[in-house]
Amino acid sequence: MRAVDERDAYANLLMPALLRERRLSGRDAGLATELAYGTLRGLGTYDEIIAACSDRAPEQVDPPLLDAVRLGVHQLLRTRVPPHAAVGTTVDLVRLRVGIGASKYANAVLRKVSTRSLEQWIPIVAPDPADDPVGHLAVAHSHPRWIVDALRDAVGGDFDETAALLAADNERPRVTLVSRPGRSSTEELLAAGAEPARYSRYAAYLSEGDPGSILAVAESRAAVQDEASQLVALALTRVPVRGADSRWLDLCAGPGGKAGLLDALASDGDVAGLPATSPAPAPSPAPGAGDGTGGDGPVAFGGGAHLLANELQYHRARLVRQTTRRAAVVTADGTRPAWRPGVFDRVMLDAPCTGLGALRRRPEARWRRDPRSLPELTALQRGLLTSALEAVRPGGVVAYVTCSPHLAETVAVVGDVLRRRDDVEALDARAYLPEVTEGLGEGPYARLWPHRHGTDAMFLALLRRH
């Protein structure tokens, strides 16, 4: 927590290294992770409670002391750690790391906090929902107000659904694995102790243990990957395209999650195939669309394509090299293409975004994101989408994906770019996710959600160039 505060460390990158250094594993590692991540996620709520139990505002408290008290509050209000242990260990920690005077302050604050449950504190410290519903949700679910606003807009304005989404952001996400087609199989992951997944035929859930101890993961034949990321990559490969289908591009590939799956699908094909039933909304028929049936419905790709994976940053491009086997990996600015226009049959644009759909995965991210970065980001997203549409050949398809549901980064970007051209059609993306039978939205775009699907929030537009 100090590293996150002092040097902008990413908790999810730092924690595994710290656990190794301190030789913590199994349940101890699980507890340490839960304490750090849970405290970082919850500190918006905790600081209001600390303010109510202290004669000093949190901003006036020495940061190491404040972090320790937050850790104590988290244990008291959200874990089953007995209150005397939560207070005692926190006070000891403060005495050791900050000083005796500070430990007295920690003791006094935590004793007051421990007099009520979290449910009892919320009405005391959060604004009245009748006067300020957004402010209430922000404090009750520990999110900055601008994110509550953005997420509320993204779910269509409903406060109950916004609350469910915010609550899902505070849950620990389960570990989801992907078996890369032709390299491993879900059977192999299940035999290693994982459980069958809800949607993706390449996914399996790992409820406990270190994913790295699974042989297929250690050998990069499988990997950790959220199910939504798997599904959007699969959806792109399922749109029938007329004629040749051998050149695929991943425009923003680093660190290589989707590229790893696309590379395997490109070469070996969608070996698991489509689910038997296809209850998703029927796409409009397009005669001669090239799937052999004369329709435009989802098809399982047969293999034999080749992926070009592009990434702006060299060190991230190197990571893409580790997740792919056959793909060519290049380092280039996607808005200044290093390839000829109109040559690709399928293009994945997983655009740089605010990441508001993956907040549960990056505990401190919600406090670091700045809404002032949006205009710059959305301009880049527009530029990259224009570039993706230039890169695809007529008849080919582009997937525009963000792990953010923010309207400015999703419908507004796609809408703006489409308004300027008459050669691009938005397909009903839901039709290419037949395994997800509900909750994808009104179309033509598809949206996955933590509170509905148990995945990261992900936006998918499938765009056919004519």
Ligand X SMILES: C[S@@+](CC[C@H](N)C(=O)[O-])C[C@H]1O[C@@H](n2cnc3c(N)ncnc32)[C@H](O)[C@@H]1O
- Contact range with ligand X by CB under 6 A, out of 20-28, 169-177, 333-341, 453-461: 333-341
Pick 32 or 312: Cβ nearer ligand X: 312
Q: How far is the CB of 181 from ligand X (least distance, A)?
A: 16
Q: Is 253 labelled a binding residue?
A: yes
Q: Is 104 labelled a binding residue?
A: no
Binder of ligand X out of 188, 263, 296, 311 (CB under 6 A): 311
Number of Cβ within 10 Å of residue 442's Cβ equals 9
Pick 310 or 455: Cβ nearer ligand X: 310
Query: What is the Cα–Cα distance from 206 to 213, expressed in whole angstroms?
Result: 11
Q: Which residues contact 449 (CB under 8 A, 6 or more apart)?
A: 155, 165, 168, 405, 439, 455, 457
Geometric angle at alpha carbon 30, from 24 and 32, rounded to 5°: 70
Residue with tokens 């509905």: 452
Binder of ligand X out of 12, 335, 386, 437 (CB under 6 A): 335
DSSP state of 226: -
Q: How far is the CB of 267 from ligand X (least distance, A)?
A: 18
| 322 contributes a contact to ligand X by CB under 6 A | no
Binder of ligand X out of 120, 313, 322, 373 (CB under 6 A): 313
Q: Is 439 labelled a binding residue?
A: no
- Contact range with ligand X by CB under 6 A, out of 47-55, 151-159, 328-336, 424-432: 328-336
Q: Is 162 helix (H, G, I), strand (E, B) or coil?
A: helix
Residue 459 burial (10 A CB sphere; 0-12, 13-18, 19+):
buried
Pick 66 or 462: Cβ nearer ligand X: 462
Nearest to 35 by CA among 27, 97, 138: 27
Pick 48 or 311: Cβ nearer ligand X: 311
Distances (CA, A) of 119 to 126, 144, 235, 451: 11, 20, 41, 21
Q: How far is the CB of 332 from ligand X (least distance, A)?
A: 7
Q: Is 38 labelled a binding residue?
A: no
Q: How far is the CB of 52 from ligand X (least distance, A)?
A: 39
Q: Is 240 labelled a binding residue?
A: no
Nearest to 274 by CA among 245, 247, 237, 324: 237
Q: What track of x and - describes contact with ligand X for positions 229 through 268 (by CB under 6 A)?
A: x----------------------xxxxxxx----------
Q: Which of residues 416-435 bind ligand X (CB under 6 A)?
A: none
**Crossing angle for the helix pair 11-21 and 26-52, to the nearest 10 degrees:** 130
Pick 83 or 352: Cβ nearer ligand X: 352
Listing DSSP states for 342-402 in one string gives T-EEEEEEE-----GGGTTTSTTHHHH--GGGHHHHHHHHHHHHHHHHHHEEEEEEEEEEE
Q: Nearest 10 degrees: CA dihedral of 430, 436, 442, 446?
A: -50
- Contact range with ligand X by CB under 6 A, out of 44-52, 96-104, 308-316, 413-421: 308-316
How many residues bind ligand X (CB under 6 A)? The answer is: 18
Q: Alpha helices of 276-339 — where are they, by DSSP H?
A: 314-323
Which residues are part of the catalytic machinery? 403
Q: Among positive and negative, which fits the CA dihedral 218, 232, 302, 191?
A: positive
Q: What track of x and - describes contact with ligand X for positions 341 through 380 (by CB under 6 A)?
A: ---------x-x----------------------------
Q: How far is the CB of 174 from ligand X (least distance, A)?
A: 18
Residue 155 burial (10 A CB sphere; 0-12, 13-18, 19+):
buried
Phi, psi of 325 (to 5 degrees): -115, -45
Pick 38 or 334: Cβ nearer ligand X: 334
Q: How far is the CB of 323 from ligand X (least distance, A)?
A: 8
Residue with tokens 């988290």: 74
The identity of residue 131, as a single letter, is D
Q: How far is the CB of 177 from ligand X (least distance, A)?
A: 15
Q: Is 210 labelled a binding residue?
A: no
Query: What is the Cα–Cα distance from 309 to 152, expressed in whole angstroms?
Result: 34
- Contact range with ligand X by CB under 6 A, out of 40-48, 179-187, 198-206, 305-313: 305-313
Pick 78 or 258: Cβ nearer ligand X: 258
Binder of ligand X out of 312, 407, 424, 426 (CB under 6 A): 312
Q: Is 42 labelled a binding residue?
A: no
Binding site for ligand X (CB under 6 A): 229, 252-258, 310-313, 316, 333-335, 350, 352
Annotated binding site for S-adenosyl-L-methionine: 252-258, 333, 350
